[in-house]
Amino acid sequence: MENMRLNIAFFVFIFLMFFRSEAQNPPSFYPFKGFHVGITGQAEFIQKPTFFLLNDGDPIPKGTWSYGWEAGIEFSYHFAKYFGVSIGINYGTALSYECAIFWRSISGFNEGRSTANTYQPCHSPIQDEEIIFPLKFEFHYPLRKDLFFTAEAGVKLKGVVHRLSYGKGATASYSSGTTVLVPPTPNDPNVPYDQIDYFDYWGERNISEIHCNLLIGIGLYYKLPYGDLLRFTTGVNLSFKNIIEGHYVYQLSQSWGVFTAKNDFIYTQLSYIHTLNWQKAKKYLKKQEFSFSSKKERRQDIIKMLKSW
């Protein structure tokens, strides 16, 4: 009987020591664990379209780089210490392209000026926006307690909403052009200027087609004192096929050709990621029934805990 009492006392002691140890050693608050939610903003430097001459007359237009943007919300799940996956719902630039055209010398318009026989921007960029879905696989590695290297790779789906809205076979057209005002000959102040169509280009897009782009990027995570994350990444978005195909024409010379645009781009992205670790730390302190003299003291203790991963 005496041995049984000693055994019971021993097991009770071990049991109490286990919970005492748990109270003294808070869990790790590693920032990449479980589910996260974030907001993202992205700037894009979009590759120029490609022009092909089919009928000579005026020099071929030159494609120029343009700009785009995206903003949205991101949901991620980190299933291992160094790896995670995410899905986003963004709204932003689905296509953007522009060009510079050759301006010939036109009597009464630009003869004798520096704008004659040279290239000048045609017009503002042709752009369209829509809902976009990025799907990514992510790697992250600590450089120090509050700084992490990250690399991402995935795909970006465009056209999903259009396909659901319009079905198969739907198309959209995009066009732009440039006109010039030329005084009458002989010049008569009572006669209005002639408006001459100089250059036009127009393209078509199959908006019921779902496009899948490849994206690859690298960057850094910075852990804020209260456990959330800031992420800065830069990378490339690569299309697998043209998103726009179209034609151009110089109206005075009837020089014409075709062009294509793929919407490849370089991107830089800034994101704010909410990790829920602050709430987890508060819940842990409440469960352990710790007492604090002020909210400031509790906040300082939480910040200290969030550094303990």
Instruction: Say which range, 10-14, 65-69, 164-168, 270-274, has the weakest mean pLDDT.
Output: 10-14
Of the candidates 239, 111, 132, 126, the one whose C-alpha atom is nearest the C-alpha of residue 180 is 111
Return the minimum-mean-pLDDT range out of 117-121, 187-191, 254-258, 291-295: 291-295
pLDDT tens, residue by residue, 262-280: 999 999 999 999 987 767 7
Q: Residue 121 and residue 103: Cα distance in Å, rounded?
A: 10
Q: How confident is the model at residue 227 (pLDDT cuts 50, 70, 90)?
A: confident
Tens-place pLDDT, residues 37-86: 999 999 999 999 999 999 988 999 999 999 999 999 999 999 988 999 99
CA distances from 257 to 63, 252, 280 (A): 13, 14, 62
| Type of residue numbered 154 | G
Buried (b) or exposed (e) across 235-272, using 16+ Cβ within 10 A? bebebeebbbebebbbbeeebbbebbbbbbbebebebe
pLDDT band at 198 (very low <50, low <70, confident <90, very high): very high
Higher pLDDT, 103 or 193: 103
What pTM did the predictor assign? 0.81
| Residue pLDDT, tens place only, 103-129 | 999 888 888 888 899 999 987 789 999
Domains of the chain: residue spans and CATH: 35-275 (2.40.160), 276-309 (no CATH)
Instruction: Fill in the amino acid letter for 268.
Output: T
Residues 6 or more apart in contact with residue 17 via CB below 8 angstroms = none
More confident residue, 40 or 289: 40
pLDDT of residue 19: 45
Q: Which residue has the higher pLDDT, 15 or 109?
A: 109
Residue 281 — very low, low, confident or very high, per pLDDT cuts 50/70/90?
low
Half-sphere exposure of 232 (CA within 13 A, CB side): 4
Asked if residue 215 lies in contact with residue 238, where contact means CB atoms within 8 angstroms, the answer is: yes
% of the chain residues with pLDDT over 70: 81
Give the pLDDT of residue 156: 96
Position 123 scores a pLDDT of 78
pLDDT given at position 213: 96
pLDDT digits (tens, 9 = 90+) for 130-150: 999 999 999 999 999 899 999
Q: What is the pLDDT of residue 70?
A: 98
